Amino acid sequence: MSEKSSYKDVFIFDHPLIQHKLAIMRDKDTSTKEFRELVSEVSMLMAYEVTRDLPLRPVDVETPIGIAHCHMIEGKKLALIPILRAGLGMVEGMINLVPMAKVGHIGLYRDPETLEPIEYYCKLPDDIQNRDVILLDPMLATGGSAAASVGFLKDRNIEHIKFVCLIAAPEGIERLHSEHPDVPIFCAGLDERLNEHAYTVPGLGDAGDRLFGTK
Closest CB 114 distance from ligand PRP, rounded Å: 11
Q: Between 70 and 112, name the residue whose CB sits nearer to ligand PRP.
A: 112
- Dmax (CA) of the chain: 67
Q: Are strands 105-110 and 78-84 parallel, antiparallel or unpaired?
A: parallel
Closest CB 115 distance from ligand PRP, rounded Å: 6
C-beta neighbour count of 136 within 10 angstroms: 28
Q: Which residues here bind ligand PRP, judged by CB under 6 A? A: 83-86, 109-110, 117, 137-146, 172, 198, 206-208
- Residue with nearest beta carbon to ligand PRP: 208
Q: Between 117 and 189, name the residue whose CB sits nearer to ligand PRP.
A: 117
Whole-angstrom distance, CA of residue 31 vs CA of residue 33: 5
Q: Between 76 and 84, name the residue whose CB sits nearer to ligand PRP.
A: 84
* Active-site residue set: 110, 114, 206, 209
Closest CB 57 distance from ligand PRP, rounded Å: 36
Contacts of residue 61, defined as CB under 8 A and 6 or more positions apart, other chains included, come to: 67, 68, 70
Contacts of residue 196, defined as CB under 8 A and 6 or more positions apart, other chains included, come to: none
